[in-house]
Amino acid sequence: MNAQPADILYDRSCAPAVLLFGDDAARRGRLADRIILSGGRVSASEPIDTAADRLDGQAGARIVVDLREDGGAALDGLLMWLDAQAGRVGRLSTLILTPPGLIDVVTARIADIGVRILVDPEGGELEAALEDLLAPPPPLTSDSSREEEQRLSDEVGLIARRLPPSAQEAEPMVEGSAADARLVQAMLRLRRLRGQHFVPSLFADPAWDILLDLMGARLGRRSVSASSLCIAAAVPATTALRWIAHMTKQELLVRRPDPRDGRRVFIALSEQAAAVMHNYLAAARRIVAPAG
């Protein structure tokens, strides 16, 4: 099909417009087809290095960016613009398609959940995301993909509401407890062992895997990149990034700059989440190794 914008504007002028950027012309053509089939129209289809000029004055635009390689400072500038725009628009404004190797580059500049990061999307994942992108505000509650996004937000919000209002209200936390570190490692090994005997998706629990991995990293005084945390979440990277984004928004997680690499951020537990995890581990130790 590979329809170009000029082929479709005359009969799809009322469809939501999408700006499409990517350095592979053939891939842009295929993405244009999928945007059209999802009910949108492509108002521009251009290489990424032209995006900065094209986006001038385009606040609120719907945007799809297809990344294949690291564009350096130019890419950083584009990602920061997209993140800032998303914070003003208040709805899903941008889809970024990225290979696994660029996860850390992208997440270092993208924090707002209005930008959805898709890691080599497969099956209907892209179509579902395009439907969300093209949806008129407010989101239509009848659409299953938007219901799923709201469900995720509600679940993370429920976890966050169980935290004490301040870290001071939790029990005192002793950093670097060797017993806690051993317990976290045992929990993580047991969770991976479960996946060797059952279908892993049967027990998918990315929020808990993320909290456990970050608690283990905190106790071991290790920093965790977004790409590493995606692996620890034991779900597809796209799903893991959505959980990380929502958990950050709900202040379960925090983003910290990598002091040695300005183009990367580390993900860590918030102080409140760490305090609650400490209390959980203390209670768990009493169960697995009761006194006396």
The residue out of 79, 106, 139 marking a domain boundary is: 139
36 alpha carbon, distance to own chain's centre: 25
Residue 3 has pLDDT above 70, yes or no: no
Which of 139, 172, 193 terminates a domain? The answer is 139
Q: Average the pLDDT over each of 61-75, 84-98, 132-146 and give the range with the smallest value.
A: 132-146
pLDDT in tens, 87-102: 888 789 999 999 999 9
Contacts 24+ apart (CB under 8 A), 71-77: 74/48, 74/49, 75/48, 75/105, 76/105, 76/109, 76/263, 77/52
Q: Which residue has the higher pLDDT, 130 or 162?
A: 130
Q: Is residue 190 part of a domain?
A: yes
- 241, 230 Cβ separation under 8 angstroms: yes
Give the residue-averaged pLDDT of 58-81: 91
Q: Is there a single domain that holds both residue 171 and residue 99?
A: no
Q: In which element (H, E) is residue 267 found?
A: strand 261-269
CA trace torsion 165, 170, 175, 177 (10° rounding): -140
Examine the pLDDT at 224 and tell me if it is beyond 50: yes
Q: In the chain, how many domains are there? A: 2
Same domain, 17 and 101: yes
Distance, CA of 115 to CA of 100 (rounded, Å): 17
Instruction: Write down the pLDDT at residue 122.
Output: 82
**Are residue 283 and residue 203 in the same domain, yes or no?**
yes
Q: Are 103 and 128 in contact (CB under 8 A)?
A: no
Owning domain of residue 117: 5-139
What's the average model confidence in pLDDT over 6-22?
72
99 in the same domain as 192: no
Q: 234 and 201 in contact (C-beta within 8 Å)?
A: no
Query: Residue 238 above 50 pLDDT?
Result: yes
Q: How far apart are the C-alpha atoms of 292 and 35, rounded to whole Å?
A: 65
In the structure encoding, which two tokens stand for residue 183, read together? Answer: 């317990």
Query: Considering only CA atoms, which of 60, 50, 17, 21 is closest in space to residue 35?
Result: 17
**Do 9 and 105 fall into the same domain?**
yes
Phi and psi for 43 in degrees, rounded to 5? Answer: -85, -20
Are 77 and 179 found together in one domain? Answer: no
| Residue 15 belongs to some domain of the structure | yes
70, pLDDT greater than 90: yes
Question: Does residue 147 sit within a domain?
Answer: no
- What integer best gives the mean pLDDT of the chain? 84
Is the confidence at residue 6, as pLDDT, over 50? no
Question: Is residue 37 included in any domain, yes or no?
Answer: yes
Distance CA 134, CA 18 (A): 8
Q: Work out whether the CA dihedral 107, 273, 180, 212 comes out positive or negative.
A: negative
Q: How far apart are CA 252 and CA 268, in angstroms?
A: 9
Element (H, E) at 41: strand 41-46
Same domain, 17 and 121: yes
Say if CB 30 and CB 72 are below 8 A apart: no
Q: What are phi and psi of 37, to 5 degrees?
A: -65, -25
Write down which residue in 115, 139, 163 finishes a domain.
Answer: 139
257 DSSP β-pair partners: 265
Q: Are residues 82 and 158 in the same domain?
A: no
Q: Where are the beta strands (DSSP E) in 67-218?
A: 94-98, 115-119
* Pair (158, 280) in one structural domain: yes
The pLDDT value given to residue 142: 43
Per DSSP (E only), the strands in 179-252 are none
Residue 220 belongs to domain with CATH number? 1.10.10.10
Same domain, 194 and 278: yes
| Residue 182 covered by a domain | yes
Q: Among 51-60, 94-103, 132-141, 143-152, which stretch is predicted with the lowest mean pLDDT?
A: 143-152
pLDDT at 140: 42
**Residue 145, in any domain of the structure:** no
89: closest CA among 152, 136, 151? 136
Tens of pLDDT, residue by residue over 202-221, are 777 899 999 999 999 999 99
How do residues 182-203 score in pLDDT, each as one tens digit?
Answer: 899 899 888 888 888 888 777 7
Q: Is the pLDDT of residue 260 over 70?
A: yes
- Check whether residue 67 and residue 126 sit in a common domain: yes
